[in-house]
């Protein structure tokens, strides 16, 4: 009994010290992690709508749309150098094969997808993770928002078809879903 008590006390001390160290590490690195996420998001917005000089978060519109469509995370208005709106960047989160996938989609006022960037994901390395490669992401460029993006398993023949990543159709479908959600949000709320 005495030996069991000693082992329990040692285990309690080890777990308390470990929890304290983890808590301190989290406290120390939280701001740096948040700053790194902000920089990654800023860069992704610029890639998705490269002609924009600045971006303005549309807080009210985002909150209103999130109530209807919880996959929408953020909506930004892309502005040119004179402050005129030239497009929108919409960040969505959809379920992929390995977990949630964050997709940033840029759309011009002319109704064209200007870029797409996969941000955060937990897809299989070498398969679904290929959705982060520029060759795949560029397949969405210049697609019209008038039609849904469709994933195909053979060479695309239609204007809004995208070739699936080999052995990663679930991931490709999820990314296309993220882009389609952004496309629908643009058409329903911002298209002129």
Please state whether beta strands 150-152 and 161-163 pair in parallel, antiparallel, or not at all (unpaired): parallel
Q: What pLDDT does 107 receive? A: 96
CB-CB contact of 112 with 124 (8 Å): no
User: What are the pLDDT digits (tens) for 93-137?
Assistant: 999 888 899 999 999 999 999 999 998 787 777 777 788 888 988
Place of tokens 């959600």: 181
Which stretch of DSSP H or E encloses residue 192? none
Separation CA 22–CA 155 (nearest Å): 50
3-state secondary structure of 71: coil
Closest CA to 137 of 181, 81, 179, 85: 179
Four-CA torsion 157, 160, 163, 165, nearest 10 degrees = 180
pLDDT reported for residue 122: 74
| Mean of pLDDT values over 61-90 | 94
Least confident interval from 5-9, 65-69, 145-149, 179-183: 5-9
Is pLDDT of 1 > 70? no
More confident residue, 139 or 36: 139
With 90 as the cut, is the pLDDT of residue 186 above it?
A: yes
Distance (Å, rounded) from C-alpha 130 to C-alpha 119? 12
Computed over every residue of the chain, the mean pLDDT equals: 89
The pTM of the full predicted model, rounded to 2 decimals, is 0.82
65-71 contact pairs (CB < 8 A, 24+)? 65/185, 65/189, 69/181, 69/185, 71/178, 71/181
**Residue 121: per-residue pLDDT:** 83
Q: Kindly state the average pLDDT of the residues 21-29.
A: 87
Task: Give SS3 for 59.
Answer: helix
């Amino acid at each position: 009994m005495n030996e069991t008590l000693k082992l329990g006390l040692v285990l309690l001390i080890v777990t308390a010290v470990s929890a304290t160290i983890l808590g301190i590490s989290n406290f120390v690195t939280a701001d740096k992690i948040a700053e790194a996420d902000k920089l990654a998001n800023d860069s992704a917005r610029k890639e998705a709508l490269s002609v924009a000089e600045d971006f303005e978060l549309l807080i009210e519109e985002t909150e209103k749309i999130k109530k209807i469509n919880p996959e929408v995370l953020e909506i930004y208005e892309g502005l040119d150098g004179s402050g005129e709106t030239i497009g929108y960047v919409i960040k969505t989160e959809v379920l992929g094969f390995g977990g949630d996938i964050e997709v940033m989609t840029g759309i011009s006022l002319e109704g064209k997808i200007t870029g797409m960037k996969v941000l955060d994901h937990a897809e299989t390395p070498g398969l679904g993770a290929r959705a982060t490669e520029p060759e795949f992401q560029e397949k969405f460029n210049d697609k019209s928002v008038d039609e849904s993006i469709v994933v195909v398993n053979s060479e695309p023949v239609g204007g809004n078809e995208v070739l699936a990543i080999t052995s990663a159709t679930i991931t490709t479908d999820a990314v296309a879903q993220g882009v389609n959600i952004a496309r629908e949000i643009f058409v329903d709320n911002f298209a002129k």
